[in-house]
Structure 1
Amino acid sequence: MTLDLGRAVLLPIDIQRGFDDPRWPKRWNPDFEANALALIADWRASGRPVIHVRHDSVQPGSPFTPGQPGNDFRPGFEPLAGEPVVSKSVNSAFIGTDLDLRLRRLGAETVVAFGISTDMCVSTTIRTGANLGWKMVLVADASDCFDLPDGQGGIIPGRAIHDAHVATLAYEFCDVVRTAELLPLANAA
């Protein structure tokens, strides 16, 4: 794969403590955190821009409500000084936020996205970004997904949901990479 990261921005999406709340189903990706932390560390070391996305819920009782512990970033994922945070209250980081403007001001061409969860906020952000004309990249193994009810009394495993969304996104909306594939590109660009 030829991927130009010369004008790329890293976009960690909703890596927040609220997803550890026991109300959430089981997640599938045991390597999510290590891959995501490695990606952020290498990206920062290369001096490239990072824009963090945080879900600030407006739903009563949500663990993601501002001021609640679940709204906080997970340990190790907190923004550093100078790294902006885009606050959203819907699934897409582009809707109702200034993300598009921030990217344009940075002169970005490519958005490298990952986070929680693949099928919801990550997918919706990638789809919206692609529709707005951004070159979108999904780091699939630095994303995570939950087991979900199938509506018929069964459960669809998070891995199956993740794989289906990655396939759909790759077919029309973005390039898909793994952390190990992206790190050498980030350091070489």
Structure 2
Amino acid sequence: MSISKSNKPALILIDIQKAFDNLEYWGGQRNNPEAENNAGELLKLWRKNKLPVFHIKHCSSIETSLLNVTNAGNEFKDIVKPIEGEPIIKKSVNSAFIGTDLKKRLDNEKISKLVIVGLTTDHCVSTTTRMAGNFGYDTFLVSDATATFNKKGVDGQNYSAKLIHETALASLNEEFATIVTTDFLKQNI
């Protein structure tokens, strides 16, 4: 799969919200501390080339969640804050396609290529990427513009954020998406 500016790829920024700054709440350890900076660099590149951008915002229905609309953590991080004219898609589940009009918007604009960045690799990023692939979009997932947290296994074992991230990418690679880097996109867009 190839990608270029002429393909009019859409940048999908998933859940890059302030709540994810609270490491303890999410498990205590995180990988890829440059993920948001890389996502911000790609957002600048997309804006410069006047390519489509979609901001996805998780609005948890759980009142105590840091991602609930009543909490400051629901806000987008400043580095990827939407500007006027950039659509914001609000969701309350792991996929940006469920309960939203994202697919309709993409199809109305005849967008067939998606570039996905955001948080977290093994949850909303993975679920959205899987659905994008199943819908037939030519999907690119940016490995260094995504991140996750450590997880406890069913036996109580602590799995590192790096391992969770790498296995999530491995399970998506060449089946649901092409895994790329920020540098790759900077060279091709």
Give TM-score scaled by structure 2 length: 0.94
CA distance in 2, matches of 1:4, 1:167: 24
1:95-136 deviations in Å (ceiling 9; x for gaps): 110000010121101111010000000000010111112111
| Percentage of matched positions with identical amino acids | 39
- The alignment status of 1:113 with 2:121, answered yes or no, reads no
Helix, strand or coil at the partner of 2:111: coil
Structure 1 runs not aligned, ≥5 long: none
Q: Which residue of 1 aligns with 2:132?
A: 129
1:80-104 deviations in Å (ceiling 9; x for gaps): 1000000000000001100000101
Residues 16 and 36, structure 2, Cα contact 8 Å, conserved in 1? no
- The alignment status of 1:3 with 2:24, answered yes or no, reads no
Give 1:68 deviation, angstroms: 1.6
CA distance in 2, matches of 1:29, 1:64: 21
Helix, strand or coil at the partner of 1:140: strand
Give 1:4 deviation, angstroms: 4.2
Helix, strand or coil at the partner of 1:96: coil
Runs of 4+ in structure 1 over 3 Å off: none
- The alignment status of 1:62 with 2:45, answered yes or no, reads no
Q: Which residue of 2 aligns with 1:96?
A: 99
Give 1:44 deviation, angstroms: 0.9
CA distance in 1, matches of 2:67, 2:148: 17
5 Å-filtered alignment, 1:18-167, equals: 18-21=19-22, 22-25=24-27, 26-167=29-170
Give 1:53 deviation, angstroms: 0.2
Structure 2 residue identity aligned to 1:171: E
| C-alpha RMSD over aligned residues | 1.2
- The alignment status of 1:179 with 2:173, answered yes or no, reads no
Give TM-score scaled by structure 1 length: 0.94
